[in-house]
Amino acid sequence: MRHLPENSRRPLKVDEVTFIIRLLSDRWSAAASALVSAGKITAGHVETPRFIDVRSIKPNEGRRVDADSKAIMIVYEDSNSTDYPTIDYAVRNETYTFTLHLRVLHRRDFADGYPTTETPSEANTEAGLVYSRDRLNALYQIARYILENNSLRPTVYVGGGTSGTMEGNADIVKLQSRSEANDRGKRLLGYKLAVEMKRFARTV
């Protein structure tokens, strides 16, 4: 009787994009608290973004997204490749690549810890100009922290916790690169994160 690796026998209940979104959203608050405690980001920039699957057909999601109220992270799959490492094609290895598009809207009332007044001083104005940039950087650090600290055998669980009944897993997840994606006309600051995920020896 052929014995298959443990990973290949685990049923997966979520698709790959949903898995990445859950991996981030389920751990976002804990990661933010850890970075605040370590002095890496300030508590004023801790925000849970609105996670959006690009395939969503809900209002204000998908092609048109409302970014006025909070930051957003749009997740989509770029590619998938599969190979079969055994002569009998009994198992497959899977590689997925994703783009995580993190966006923050710059609002004129943003300032470093307080809103600008109706007749803002130069200091207030300067604070407002960098507030969105600092917010974007803080959110990037939270996402990076989650991906780096869950790079080996990342798992999501029923109910959104970090233990219990498994709902989906992978063997490796890796943050590969970051590029800027700004839209000055719409006052949107953004990063595009390239993420790779691998699953090994999955039953065919």
In a domain, 27, yes or no: yes
Our count of domains for the chain comes to 1
pLDDT, tens digit (0-9, with 9 covering 90-100), for 136-192: 999 999 999 999 999 999 999 998 888 889 999 999 999 999 999 998 888 889 999
In a domain, 1, yes or no: no
In a domain, 151, yes or no: yes
Lowest mean pLDDT: which of 54-58, 67-71, 116-120? 116-120
Considering the entire predicted model, what is its pTM?
Answer: 0.84
Asked whether 199 and 171 are in contact (CB, 8 A), the reply is yes
Q: Checking DSSP bridges between strand 188-203 and strand 91-105, what pairing results, if any?
A: antiparallel
What pLDDT is attached to residue 105?
86
Query: Which domain does 49 fall in, by range?
Result: 6-203
Q: Is 67 helix (H, G, I), strand (E, B) or coil?
A: coil
- CATH number of the domain that 173 lies in? 3.30.2000.10
In a domain, 19, yes or no: yes
In a domain, 65, yes or no: yes
Q: For residue 45, with 0-12 CB atoms within 10 Å meaning exposed, 13-18 middle and 19 or more buried, which class applies? A: buried
In a domain, 76, yes or no: yes
Q: At residue 99, what are phi and psi to the nearest 5 degrees?
A: -115, 130
In a domain, 93, yes or no: yes
What pLDDT is attached to residue 178?
97
Residue length of the chain: 204
pLDDT at 107 over 80: no
